[in-house]
Amino acid sequence: MTLFKAYIKGTGSFFPAKKLTNKDLEKLVDTNDQWIKERTGISSRSIAADNETTSDLAYQASLQAIKSANIKKTDIDFIILATATPDYPMPNTACLVQHKLGIQNCPALDMSAACSGFVYALSVANQFIQTGTYKNILVIGAEVLHNFVNYTDRNTCILFGDGAGATILSRNEQCDDSVNNSINDRGIASHHLGADGSQSDLLEVPAGGSAQVITPEILKNHGHCVVMKGKELFKEAVLSMSQRCTEALEKNNLTNKDIDWVIPHQANTRIINAVAKQLDVPLEKVINEIKNMGNTSAATVPMALDIAVKDGRIKKGHWVLLVAFGSGLTSGSVLLKY
């Protein structure tokens, strides 16, 4: 069976206009700009307006991705949207994006793998392209997290922001599964996914699902908000992201020296730097856009990718290693030739 290659044909991102700076947070909790910058690398985050939903952010990022891929909206065969903060329990947010795009002719699916969601979604989309089922898939990571952040908890409220990133993953018509080193060989080389449900309590939103419905009491006690064991997560993040990267390199007989760019989940600059150290990749080759983004969960990787494509760092033919980690504990990497 011929396996087609799936490559990233277009990218887009969207940051809501409203900003929440470290100085703003100083007024809410006992923290300070210097501590936040030193411990996380974050200076400010975008926060969606009251009337802006996850699908609104996803729609804006998608328009950019469609434009940069130079395809028509009706060329989209499938929409996969990764999020932990859907507009509603149902319908799924991907269907709402489809409607906003004004198209009706494609299936639309949400994926829930927390901060690893986009990497998971890209891996699933890759299968549909490889097998020849679809030609163009809109893959999105989008979040409006601030509604699930407790702005009296200084451990978590300093970290998270809102945003969306989108890609068009397309069939590379120029090549099949025979590997060569030409630029026509653009596409996903492999993906590596993992999860460890036994450690789910390290990062969770306890209420709002079937285990715990939201009551006035729960709302009052912020039970619908993110709770986190930061120190333990930090270690697991470094460990699992390093592992997923090593698996990708080994699978493709590449070394750290072959990689042009690593795009890690933007959770904390110290986590990003520790992963780079484990891989022995210089920081100049690591995309770190957390300063003005914060942790936008499933959106960080496609947002950082879009920024680095638009500013010209990532060029056609570069080896790019995407890697993420999140609640679950999920993790995943995608190695691709951009």
Spatial CB neighbours of 220, under 8 Å, sequence gap ≥ 6 = none
Cα(34)–Cα(11) distance, integer angstroms: 33
Cα(294)–Cα(73) distance, integer angstroms: 30
Site map 244..273 versus ligand COA, x via CB under 6 A: -----------------------xx--x--
Query: With CB under 6 A, what is the number of residues at the site for ligand COA?
Result: 21
C-beta of 96: minimal distance to ligand COA in Å?
25
With CA atoms as reference, report the closest residue to 337 among 247, 238, 280, 258.
258
Instruction: Take residue 206 and report the two structure tokens written for it.
Output: 């306890």
Spatial CB neighbours of 150, under 8 Å, sequence gap ≥ 6 = 156, 157, 222, 225, 226, 227
Site map 299..318 versus ligand COA, x via CB under 6 A: --------------------
Cα(168)–Cα(62) distance, integer angstroms: 8
Cα(27)–Cα(78) distance, integer angstroms: 44
Residues 132-161 within binding reach of ligand COA (CB under 6 A): 154-155, 158
C-beta of 143: minimal distance to ligand COA in Å?
11
Residues 46-75 within binding reach of ligand COA (CB under 6 A): none
Span of 43-51, 79-87, 230-238, 254-262 interacting with ligand COA by CB under 6 A: 230-238
Range list of β-strands (E), the chain: 5-14, 18-21, 44-47, 78-82, 108-111, 136-143, 163-172, 187-195, 203-204, 227-228, 261-264, 319-326, 330-337
C-beta of 203: minimal distance to ligand COA in Å?
6
Residues 89-128 within binding reach of ligand COA (CB under 6 A): 115
- The residue (of 185 and 204) whose beta carbon lies closer to ligand COA is 204
C-beta of 235: minimal distance to ligand COA in Å?
9
40 binds ligand COA (CB under 6 A): yes
- Residue 244: alpha-carbon gap to chain centroid: 15
233 binds ligand COA (CB under 6 A): yes
- The residue (of 71 and 149) whose beta carbon lies closer to ligand COA is 149
Cα(23)–Cα(54) distance, integer angstroms: 26
Active site residues: 115, 265, 295
Q: What are phi and psi of 58, to 5 degrees?
A: -65, -40
Span of 4-12, 35-43, 52-60, 304-312 interacting with ligand COA by CB under 6 A: 35-43
C-beta of 65: minimal distance to ligand COA in Å?
24
- Residues forming a β-bridge with 333: 192, 323
Q: How far is CA 94 from CA 59, 307, 322, 330, in A?
A: 9, 23, 22, 21
Contact with ligand COA (CB under 6 A) among 43, 199, 234, 256: 234
Contact with ligand COA (CB under 6 A) among 109, 228, 239, 254: 228
List contacts with ligand COA (CB under 6 A).
31, 35, 39-40, 115, 154-155, 158, 203, 228, 230-231, 233-234, 237, 267-268, 271, 295, 325-326
